[in-house]
Structure 1
């Protein structure tokens, strides 16, 4: 198959006019693990970590119904220094909470399990995740990485590339956590507009996939009101 003939699910979805309203996966808790090397196709599950630590983190995340994502800053990789981890939570009261740490050795990741059992700190700036997991789906790299680059130039402290967030055919996908808001069908220009509005407290209905604190019918209903 030549490059011109290569199939991209995001191109096909746009050509079909696939609707993405109400497609945000439900969830209130996210575990982010900075990993600057290449990402396996299955993300955290595929990492070559110390088995005991990996199972500890996985079990704690499952008990908290947390989603585990690998993250990294867009563009040039930092060659040295500790990586970071975070537990981000949108709790039942609507409070947005964060807890951050760092890791060098696999054993350091065990601190995530403690963070998952604590509420975390209120406030803090939102984290903007741009799915750029090309080994999972090429659309995420082709469409996601340009969006990650342009957003990181504007908001370098907020933006991270992430592993698979769901809905490859809606790439480029951006998730704002712990707010729990999914946006899809973005390109570099529209992503700037969407994030400007989001950070100003407004939701861009035209690219809204949904709120992760709501189930699909509720997400669709809210999108209809906003639209």
Structure 2
């Protein structure tokens, strides 16, 4: 039986520039089954789900439900919910976490501040292993369940800090996931590949293979930053920032800056992935948008003498690899 993921893989559809956009993630543990629109179709109070969805509009915060890998019986047992708020902007990444009794508490959060990167001392700083969230919601797309759930279970069994997540887009790239604190998403991954990604993140490095982009940026900027990483071989997680994006679809000019002062101008064009293929299982074939990097032009290549060297000092609330 053909699936959207099989078709996308066979057609070698590019991954760069396809990550979900979220400067800040708000992830809420909710065990049990999930519907296609999980915020209002799970054991989470639908009124709370609707309120959170409305409150997040335009804030830069993306909300999703999470659960531990394993069997998910259709029963509701009261208990605490693990929650994570994570900001993914370069140089300012942080994760805050808490265990709450009632998700309705989340409706009182200042989502605009969280989207802007200000946690205001909310909850506790998370400084454990990198967090990996694998999309597994079969009610959104069967590929996410067929390919995502076994991967999530294998990662959890290996000791990774793995969670299942409701929806991060790009079903046809299943199994797909993202990793915090930096917010880079990956597609068509294997357990071995994910372990390499997590090992790199522990060292504050980024693996670009099978990478869809960093969620802090819109799709053209995601593709541009990955192109500069490939060109330079730079692995440091926070080495690059996107300082400017000019243009509108289908043409953009993206400025990517290194912390050492170098800059590049990247021309990105929106193309159509052809031939037609289903963007999700059960849908009619279409030609999804793709981000094509046309050129990468150095604007400044000299490294200032005063450029910082060595590891950056840790920041309050920032991810720190365990010793």
Distance in structure 2 (CA, Å) of the matches to 1:41 and 1:112: 22
Local SS of the residue matching 1:45: coil
> Which residue does the alignment assign to 1:200?
203
Distance in structure 2 (CA, Å) of the matches to 1:213 and 1:115: 20
Alignment partner of 1:148 is 2:134: no
Give deviations 1:149-184, integer Å, cap 9, x for gaps: 22112334x210111110011111111134211111
The change in CA–CA distance for 1:189 and 1:127 in structure 2 (over 3 A counts) is: closer
> Which structure has the bigger radius of gyration?
2
> Which residue does the alignment assign to 1:36?
31
> Which residue does the alignment assign to 1:129?
133
> Which residue does the alignment assign to 2:56?
61
> Which residue does the alignment assign to 2:289?
none
* 34-43 or 217-226, which deviates more: 217-226
- Aligned residue runs from structure 1 range 65-84, under 5 A: 65-76=60-71, 81-84=79-82
Distance in structure 2 (CA, Å) of the matches to 1:70 and 1:51: 13
| Structure 1: gaps of 5 or more residues | 1-5
Instruction: Report the alpha carbon displacement of residue 139 of structure 1 after superposing the two structures with TM.
Output: 0.8
Distance in structure 2 (CA, Å) of the matches to 1:144 and 1:51: 25
> Which residue does the alignment assign to 1:212?
215
Distance in structure 2 (CA, Å) of the matches to 1:48 and 1:122: 27
RMSD across aligned positions (CA) = 2.5
Higher helix share: 1
| Structure 2: gaps of 5 or more residues | 114-118, 231-323
Local SS of the residue matching 1:43: coil
> Which residue does the alignment assign to 1:166?
169
Of 2, 10, 14, which aligns to 2:9? 14
Q: In the comparison of the two structures, how many residue pairs are matched?
A: 217
TM-score by length of 1: 0.83
Conserved 8 A contact 2:33-2:72: no
Distance in structure 1 (CA, Å) of the matches to 2:43 and 2:71: 23
Conserved 8 A contact 2:89-2:216: no
* 69-78 or 113-122, which deviates more: 113-122
Conserved 8 A contact 1:143-1:187: no
Instruction: Report the alpha carbon displacement of residue 66 of structure 1 after superposing the two structures with TM.
Output: 1.8
Conserved 8 A contact 1:23-1:210: yes
Conserved 8 A contact 2:33-2:42: no
> Which residue does the alignment assign to 2:104?
110
Conserved 8 A contact 1:146-1:188: no
Instruction: Report the alpha carbon displacement of residue 16 of structure 1 after superposing the two structures with TM.
Output: 0.2
Instruction: Report the alpha carbon displacement of residue 76 of structure 1 after superposing the two structures with TM.
Output: 4.7
Higher strand share: 2
Local SS of the residue matching 1:182: strand
Instruction: Report the alpha carbon displacement of residue 48 of structure 1 after superposing the two structures with TM.
Output: 5.7
The change in CA–CA distance for 1:63 and 1:16 in structure 2 (over 3 A counts) is: closer
